[in-house]
Amino acid sequence: MGDEDTSRHRSVPASRIGRLGGFTRLAGGLAGGALSEGARRIASGERPRLDQLLLTPANAKRLTDRLAHLRGAAMKLGQMISMDAGDLLPPELSEILARLRERADFMPPKQLDKVLSAEWGKDWRKRFRRFEPRPIAAASIGQVHRAMLPDGRLLAIKVQYPGIAQSIDSDVDNVAGLLKLTGLLPAELDIAPLLAAAKEQLHEEADYVREGAMMTRFGELLEGREGFVVPELHEELTTTRILAMSFEEGGPIEALASERQELRDEVFARMIELVARELFDSRLMQTDPNFANYRWQAKTGRIVLLDFGAAREVSEGISADYRRLLYAGLAEDREAVMEAAIEAGFMNPRALERHPEAMRRAVDIVVTQMASDDRLDFGDRAFVPEIRETVMPIARDRDSWHLPPAETLFVQRKVSGTALLGARLNARVDVRGIVESVLAETA
C-alpha cells in the first residue's frame, strides 16, 4: 500500500465533541483564510465583498477537506450542494465541492474492527472465508468491503461509520451555519423546512435495515426488465449499521463516455425511462443521483443500481404536479407551464409579478428544449448560460427568493442529477417520446 493509500486512512470523529471541534476548526480556518485574502486584496487597491473573501479556492479546499474528514451528514450535504446547484455556484467552489462526489477517506483497520465486532461479535471473521480489509468504495455514511462466504458466494458489505447516525441533526445545523457564513444560503431565506426534511432523509439513509428493504423492493419492481441489475439482500448479516448484499461486478458509469454514440444513447434512454417510471408508475424513487450509484457491466450491457438509502415514496400529489407540468410543456403551452409551476410550488408567484419578462423567457427556453421532436442532446448545454443570464435579476431580488416543498426538491434532485449524467455521457435521447409513452401508459 503506497503513501497515497495510507493518507486516506483517517479515523471518523465519532463523538459529539470531536465533530463539533472539527466544525470549529473549519470555521476558524475559513475566517483566517478570509482575513488573509482580504489583506491581500486591500493592499492591491481592491474593496472585496465578504463572499469573495470566503469563497476563495483555498477556503473551498479547506471546506472540502474537512467535510471529507467528518463524513456523515456534513459530507452528504456538501455533495448535495455540488450537484444540485450545478452551474449556479461560483466556479472555484463548484469544482472543488464536486470532488466530494468522488472522494471519501476510510476508517483505519482498528476502527473498522471495532465497528464489526460491535455488530457481529468478536469472532466475526469466522463468518467468512475471506474479508478484504481495504474498502472497494468509501462514501459519506459508510464504506464498502468485498467478502467471500464459506460457500464461495461474493458479498459487498457496507459498514456505517461510527457516530454518524447520532450526529446527523447537529451536522446538518452546523453545515447550514457554515453555508450561511459563505453566503451560499442567504440569511433571509427560511430553510427550516428543508433542513428538517434533510435530517429526516439522512436518518433514513443511516438505517441499513430500511435500505435493504428498499433494495429488495426495487429488485422486485425491475424483475424481468432487461438492462438493470439490483443486488440481492443477505438478511442474516444485515443490521442497522451493516448492509450485506450480493457483489455485482461493474465499472464506473462514466466509462460509457468512451463507447460508441449508439450505445451511450441506448443506455441513457433506459435511465430516462427508469426515472419516468419511478415518478409516474411505481411512485418509488431513488432520489440520490450520485454517479457512483450506477455501475456499468460492459460484458452484459446492464446497469447495476446501488445505494437505496435515499429511496422514498413519491406522493400522488407530487406525481400529479409533474404530470401537469409535462403535459403543458409537451403541448408547448407556456402559460399553462407557468401556472402549473406556481401551483406546484416550483415558482414564487411574486417572481412572476416582479419579473414577468424574465420568467416567461426562462420558461420559453426550457419548453423549447423539452418539446423538440429532435433527440435531446444532453452534451449541448449552450442554453444553460442563457438561462443563468435570464434568471439573474430574479436571483438578485430578495423578495423573489423561494424554496419549493422539500419532497419536490428531492425528486428534482434526481431529475437534474440524471441530466448531469447525460451531459457527462454526451447522450442524445428521444426524451419526448419516452415521456409521452410513460405518461400514456400510467394515465
The string of pLDDT tens digits covering residues 130-158 is 999 999 988 778 899 999 999 999 999 99
**76: helix, coil or strand?**
helix
pLDDT at 432: 93
How far apart CA 243 and CA 145 sit, in angstroms, is 10
- The residue ranges of DSSP E strands in 319-379, in sequence order, are 376-377
Is 182 within 8 Å of 89 (Cβ atoms)? no
Beta carbons within 8 Å of 286's beta carbon, 6+ residues apart = 214, 218, 278, 293, 305, 307, 308, 310, 311, 414
Asked whether the predicted pLDDT for residue 326 surpasses 50, the reply is yes
Is 83 within 8 Å of 77 (Cβ atoms)? no
Alpha helices in 121-241 (DSSP H): 164-182, 192-205, 208-221
- Cell numbers at 69, concatenated: 474528514
Question: How many CA atoms lie less than 13 Å away from 249 in the CB half-sphere?
Answer: 6
pLDDT at 11: 55
How far apart CA 298 and CA 256 sit, in angstroms, is 9
**148: helix, coil or strand?**
strand
Of 214, 382, 197, the closest CA to residue 282 belongs to 214
- Cell numbers at 396, concatenated: 438578485
- Round the average pLDDT of the chain to a whole number and report it: 80
**256: helix, coil or strand?**
helix
pLDDT at 85: 45
The string of pLDDT tens digits covering residues 191-224 is 777 778 778 888 898 999 999 999 999 999 999 8
pLDDT at 56: 55
The string of pLDDT tens digits covering residues 371-393 is 788 899 998 877 777 877 887 77
For the chain, the structural domain boundaries read 3-106+164-203, 250-443
- Classify strands 130-131 and 142-148 as parallel, antiparallel or unpaired: antiparallel
The neighbour count for residue 388, using CB atoms within 10 Å, is 14
Asked whether the predicted pLDDT for residue 93 surpasses 80, the reply is no
Asked whether the predicted pLDDT for residue 13 surpasses 70, the reply is no
pLDDT at 29: 47
The string of pLDDT tens digits covering residues 413-439 is 899 889 989 999 999 999 999 999 999
The string of pLDDT tens digits covering residues 40-92 is 433 444 443 434 434 555 555 656 565 655 555 555 555 555 444 444 444 55
pTM score, whole prediction: 0.79
How far apart CA 21 and CA 221 sit, in angstroms, is 44
Question: What are phi and psi for residue 302, nearest 5 degrees?
Answer: -110, 160
The string of pLDDT tens digits covering residues 166-185 is 888 877 777 777 666 655 55
Q: Is the dihedral of CA 228, 274, 266, 426 positive or negative?
A: negative
Q: What is the DSSP letter of 9?
A: B
How far apart CA 31 and CA 54 sit, in angstroms, is 7
Residues classed as catalytic? 288
Q: In the block, which residue shows the cell 450535504?
A: 77
